[in-house]
Structure 1
Amino acid sequence: PLRHLEDYLNEMPGILDVFGLEKSPDHTSFCNWEKEISMRTLRSLLRRTAEQAGFSGTGAIDASGFQRGQASHHYRKRADYSFQAMKTTV
């Protein structure tokens, strides 16, 4: 949950350094951001980020809890949205 994101970021100084922050913003900032950004914008941001990384054959492990496959079949068909995923367990 976003309420825990503040604590997680404060435990990862390397990530905060990337953004030039000494400490994480308050969790309410993340909650407000989530309300303002649309799912379409988020998908576009994720797609562009993946395109910038290129297709090097390198994968990533995401533990954010954002699951792309939970959209209903009706929504995916209506939005012309498809994805390829491989589920693994460590």
Structure 2
Amino acid sequence: PALLDSLRSYGLSWGTPFFVKGGRVACMDHIGEILQPEVLVLLIGERPGLVSATSMSAYMCYRPRKGMVESERTVISNIHKGGTPPIEA
């Protein structure tokens, strides 16, 4: 809800959020091919057992498509109460 409130406050629109079980960063390429969004934001939680298991990362990509290289993605990582605050991220 906080993310959608922020998007709304900037006058930005969004599609229906959905869940990809076991998704990895490269799933953005496949989603981009299917939905053809202007921008795609992928929120990924860290795997259990890691030092910051409550952390999340936000990967963003402009016009994602198959074959994209990692340098074409932007990431905000370490999103958690002891790292980058969610509201700031």
Higher strand fraction: Structure 1 or Structure 2? 2
Higher helix fraction: Structure 1 or Structure 2? 1
TM class, shorter-length: under 0.3
TM-score (norm 2): 0.28
> Which structure has more RCO (C-alpha within 8 Å, separation ≥ 6)?
2
TM-score (norm 1): 0.28
